[in-house]
Structure 1
Amino acid sequence: MDRNLNNLLKWSIENSVPSSTTPASTDSADRPTAITARPSDTPSTGAATAPPASNVNPELLSALFGGPSEADLMRAAMEVVTDPTATLDNKLIAFDNFEQLIESLDNANNLEPLGLWTPLLSVLATPAKSEEEEEIKTYEPELQRMAAWCVGTAVQNNVKSQERLLAMGGVPTLLKLATAEDGDVGVRRKSIYALSSAVRNYQPSMDVVVEGLAKYGRGEKVDAADMDAVDGVIDWLRERVKGKA
């Protein structure tokens, strides 16, 4: 039997309510004499017995009852984010939902098969708009901030996502945003957060960051597994945002 179907069968059995009636005997003489229990003989628990815990796959139940899977929700959220007709509020709500979904390691790793890295990074790398497009220009930093936040969540302690971010060219983009002196402070801070997650214990991304910082006199080799050394780079970037470096 298919494993998912087997799990569903187990769930069905676990959650079945036993019948409260028993077949009536046709012969009253065969019926045992009822024994009335004294109050002291009957234990009192004070609470109903809790139903058994379910181990069934939530996505299996969603599929069974027609609900959207988490993959469907991720795709739907990104469609709203990249929809030019969606309002800023709706895009931010969609981004917030998206970020919560990719807190799951499995969902973060699904960004690649679902084709969601490209639209996510396209929002992060949105070019500056012209002065004639003031309304769009106002929205842009908020969306970039959310995009950087989502990237940081996806790659945190996740080598597979760290590899994908680097392969998609996301690390140089984040570094550019983090070091943009005239950039939005919120975007810069979230970009640094994303970089911090991207380089820890992943040397290829750490090397790209160090190479990009060489023009600031920070081009010395940094071991990605040395958390103190990584903290030194990240703290330096944060100080630049504060205007102290």
Structure 2
Amino acid sequence: MDKSLNSLLKWSIENTAPSTTPIAVKALDNTNDTATAAAAATTTTVTDNAPVTNLTPAPLDREALLAILGGGGPSDADLMKAALEVIHDTDPENTLDNKLIAFDNFEQLIESLDNANNLENLSLWTPLLSLLSHDESELRRYAAWCVGTAVQNNVRTQERLVAMGGIPPLVTLATREGEGEAVRRKAVYALSSAVRNYQPAMDLASEELAKQVEGRDVKQVDAGIWMRWMR
């Protein structure tokens, strides 16, 4: 039986039928079965004249109270950190599917403006941006996707992305020959979110793009098209 539910049941018995408390609580302490505990609690007959020895209910412990209120679970910050830990975990038993599920959960969490802003406080920008250069293309795709989500319509996170050096690797992903289309699309999405209404990011992206396409066939990479997409 769940510990918090056991505490809740004990508290209920103690404060509903005082005269049965010793037997009921003893039974609960010696069993993990809810049905057995409930049966034990009813073995003593309470009469109308039974003396009330405790008019003040015993305090309900914190775990039982959290069980009632539905709280006590991990915070969004805890979930964000845990997700990136799973993604970076190199244990062979930690499959790619597990990492992608963790990345999907992470992306949904940072859709919240507060959670996106909290990336800085939790020191999660560095581990997130490092995944832009991961050997696994799906992890690169998700990393770019999450960056785009984090900086969308958010000047604070746009500034952090520039400060953390996130623009150059995104430009590399978006323009690199041989990179998968799905990865490039998410990189362009991230760049578009990063530069929108934030001139420092636009200036840096323009500089990096010029470096990437220098000397290459403009038919392969049209800088004008890229910049229109990023606007």
Deviations 1:192-226 (A, max 9, x none): 00000000011111001111222547xxxxxxxxx
Paired residue secondary structure (1:182): coil
Distance 2:230 2:202 in 1: 14
Counterpart amino acid of 1:235?
W
Distance 1:73 1:234 in 2: 36
| Structure 2 contact 195–230 (Cα < 8 Å) conserved | no
> Who is 2:117 aligned against?
109
Distance 1:213 1:197 in 2: 16
TM-score by length of 2: 0.61
Distance 1:146 1:208 in 2: 23
Matched, 1:210 2:216: no
Deviations 1:26-81 (A, max 9, x none): xxxxxxxxxxxxxxxxxxxxxxxxxxxxxxxxxxx799832111111111111101
Distance 2:129 2:226 in 1: 26
Counterpart amino acid of 1:151?
V
Matched, 1:233 2:223: no
Q: 1:187 aligns with which of 183, 187, 192?
A: 183
Distance 2:230 2:143 in 1: 22
For residues 96 and 106 of structure 1, do their structure 2 counterparts lie closer, same or farther at Cα, with a shift above 3 Å needed?
A: same
- 1:166 CA displacement: 0.6
Distance 1:203 1:176 in 2: 20
Counterpart amino acid of 1:76?
A
Counterpart amino acid of 2:114?
D
Q: 2:81 aligns with which of 55, 65, 75?
A: 75
> Who is 1:91 aligned against?
99
Q: CA RMSD in A?
A: 2.4
Gap runs ≥5 in structure 1: 1-60, 127-136, 218-229, 238-245
Counterpart amino acid of 2:118?
N
Q: 2:155 aligns with which of 159, 167, 171?
A: 159
What is the count of residue pairs matched by the alignment?
153
The percentage of counterpart residues that share the same residue type is 67
Q: Which residues of 2 match residues 115-154 of structure 1 at below 5 A?
A: 115-126=123-134, 137=135, 140-154=136-150
- 1:231 CA displacement: 8.1
Distance 2:195 2:225 in 1: 10
| Structure 2 contact 148–193 (Cα < 8 Å) conserved | yes
Distance 2:202 2:230 in 1: 14
Gap runs ≥5 in structure 2: 1-65, 215-223
Counterpart amino acid of 2:105?
N
Paired residue secondary structure (2:119): coil
For residues 236 and 156 of structure 1, do their structure 2 counterparts lie closer, same or farther at Cα, with a shift above 3 Å needed?
A: closer
| Structure 2 contact 174–188 (Cα < 8 Å) conserved | yes
Distance 1:145 1:64 in 2: 35
- 1:182 CA displacement: 1.2
| Structure 1 contact 196–234 (Cα < 8 Å) conserved | no
> Who is 1:242 aligned against?
none
